């Protein structure tokens, strides 16, 4: 009788015990109403989608999650463990290149029974067991899976931004994103991706990266990670080492191409970086981080950089010297990431123009990139080239032209890059708009880069048919509002004529 009463008591106690579990209480479900960019129809947004993800309460009454869980959202709601109530939330920190985001809610009572989980310091150990919490698709209840840390590596996340990544052998599914992985009651990482084609392989953003993100946000704004973007290679080959005059005991990496080719840049091709701060590099360019763990020397950039300058020791022509290398946070790429914004557009006749972006290429996927590469499209070749005063961004045509007899006989110019308008090189989307606005003569000619046709149209007819095409397609605006100054301002020649007549 006593044992039966004890069993009943424990059964009744179990829901309370679950409710009192601080880990379960700290993990939330995130509901997002989102509209992603539509690169086929850049004048509009993609269809409204309802998606879910996971997040975790951390100190300061904040919720940590992935950037991709909340990107392009128009409405965010968070739902606590064993609760049906959904509380509005807002984004207060956003780092798409590291896939991290920070949320806040106005209702402070939401956190009364949801104490924050602490973030672990340092790097977890290989073969350490972790428990992953989240709300994967296929059910409404909190899911808990167990895995082993199988790999720790320094790699690239998005848009050439480097960072530490942890691989675990745990089943992770859509919806797990943003959920915490814990060991000994502390967060050791945040789920951010898996490999659908591989069984039980997932990835975590470790707390070392999360701490950097939160530290950057202390002034209320996320600036980004400092990067060293010079092209490098290892120095293992004996002939190469002889050419570089490297002693046998010296490791490092050789600079193959500098990020900045100006005369005052402290690195030159053939330089060998041998130390970061006072830490020597091995012949693979790695440094000792912990016992049994060596990582790329770039892992130490946050530790040693000061005000965007990194102390390095190099060998040049056999002589050792110390330099301070200027780092970069936000490179001005020709093909830029959108970072949560929407692409601009300009419609002229049957053609839709927009700027090429890293997001467009990611959306195209491997097959789409292969197709663009086969046509020698500069979106692929110049993907990580820097912009300059002569070329600020790559302007692309849409995947198709609107139906109209004016382009009869031309093939589809899928995301072709516009090189020139009437023999004038195109610097940017706004510059293309200015060139079209100021064009004269019987024809307007678009030269496209790569293996694409040259397009010739009757100039005035292109202007004339634009309005009817917009009406037929149900498009309200010919161009994004940011392009209004470029389109509405009168060309210099017209202004001069007007001034003379006055």
Active site (catalytic) residues: 68, 99, 177
Q: Give the list of residues 6+ apart from residue 391 with CB closer than 8 angstroms, or none.
A: 334, 425, 427, 428
Instruction: Work out the angle at residue 225's Cα, subtended by the Cα atoms of residues 219 and 227, and round it to the nearest 5 degrees.
Output: 150
Question: What is the C-alpha separation between 172 and 180, in angstroms, rounded?
Answer: 12
CB 65 within 8 A of CB 54: yes
CB 270 within 8 A of CB 244: yes
Q: Give the list of residues 6+ apart from residue 500 with CB closer than 8 angstroms, or none.
A: none
Cα separation values, 116 from 129, 270, 392, 431, Å:
21, 50, 45, 50
Query: DSSP string covering 353-367, please?
Result: EEE-BHHHHHHHHHH
Strand positions, DSSP E, 126-172: 129-134, 143-156, 162-168
CB 328 within 8 A of CB 259: yes
Sheet holding 443-448, edge to edge: 424-425, 418-421, 443-448, 455-458
Sheet holding 351-355, edge to edge: 345-348, 351-355, 395-397
What the block records as the tokens of 51 is 């998606």
Question: What is the C-alpha separation between 56 and 25, in angstroms, rounded?
Answer: 9
Q: What is the DSSP letter of 45?
A: B
What the block records as the tokens of 218 is 């202390």
Q: Give the list of residues 6+ apart from residue 385 with CB closer than 8 angstroms, or none.
A: 333, 334, 335
């Amino acid at each position: 009788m006593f044992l039966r009463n004890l069993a009943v008591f424990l059964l009744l106690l179990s829901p309370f015990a679950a409710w009192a579990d601080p880990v379960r209480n700290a993990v939330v479900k995130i509901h997002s109403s989102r509209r992603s960019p539509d690169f086929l129809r850049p004048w509009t947004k993609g269809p409204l989608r309802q998606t879910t993800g996971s997040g975790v309460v951390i100190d300061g009454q904040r919720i940590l999650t992935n950037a991709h869980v909340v990107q392009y959202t128009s409405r965010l709601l968070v739902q606590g463990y064993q609760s049906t109530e959904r509380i509005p939330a807002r984004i207060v920190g956003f780092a798409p290149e590291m896939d991290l985001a920070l949320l806040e809610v106005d209702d402070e009572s939401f956190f009364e029974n949801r104490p924050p989980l602490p973030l672990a310091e340092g790097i977890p150990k290989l073969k350490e067991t972790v428990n992953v919490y989240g709300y994967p698709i296929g059910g409404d209840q909190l899911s808990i899976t167990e895995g082993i840390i199988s790999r720790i590596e320094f790699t690239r996340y998005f848009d050439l931004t480097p960072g530490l990544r942890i691989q675990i052998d745990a089943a992770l599914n859509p919806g797990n994103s943003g959920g915490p992985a814990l060991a000994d009651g502390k967060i050791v990482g945040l789920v951010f991706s898996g490999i659908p084609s591989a069984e039980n392989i997932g990835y975590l953003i470790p707390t070392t990266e999360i701490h950097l993100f939160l530290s950057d946000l202390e002034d209320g704004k996320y600036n980004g990670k400092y990067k060293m973007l010079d092209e490098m290679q290892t120095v293992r080959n004996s002939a190469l080492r002889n050419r570089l005059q490297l002693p046998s005991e010296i490791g490092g990496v050789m600079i193959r191409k500098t990020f900045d080719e100006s005369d005052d840049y402290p690195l030159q091709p053939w330089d060998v970086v041998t130390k970061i701060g006072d830490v020597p590099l091995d012949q693979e360019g790695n440094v000792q981080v912990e016992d049994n763990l060596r990582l790329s020397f770039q892992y130490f950039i946050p530790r040693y950089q000061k005000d965007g300058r990194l102390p390095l020791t190099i060998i040049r022509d056999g002589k050792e010297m110390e330099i301070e290398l200027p780092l970069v946070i936000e490179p001005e790429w020709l093909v830029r990431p959108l970072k949560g914004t929407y692409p601009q557009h300009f419609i002229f006749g049957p053609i839709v123009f927009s700027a090429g972006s890293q997001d467009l290429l990611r959306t195209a996927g491997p097959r789409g990139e292969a197709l663009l590469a086969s046509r020698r499209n500069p979106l692929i070749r110049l993907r990580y080239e820097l912009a300059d005063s002569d070329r600020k961004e790559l302007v692309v045509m849409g995947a198709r032209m609107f139906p109209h007899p004016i382009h009869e006989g031309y093939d589809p110019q899928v995301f072709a890059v516009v090189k020139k308008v009437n023999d004038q090189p195109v610097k940017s989307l706004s510059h293309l708009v200015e060139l079209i606005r100021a064009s004269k003569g019987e024809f307007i000619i678009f030269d496209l880069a790569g293996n694409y046709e040259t397009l010739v149209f009757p100039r005035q007819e292109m202007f004339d048919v634009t309005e009817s095409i917009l009406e037929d397609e149900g498009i309200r605006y010919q161009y994004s509002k940011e392009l209004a100054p470029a389109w509405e301002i009168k060309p210099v020649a017209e202004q001069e004529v007007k001034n003379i007549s006055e």
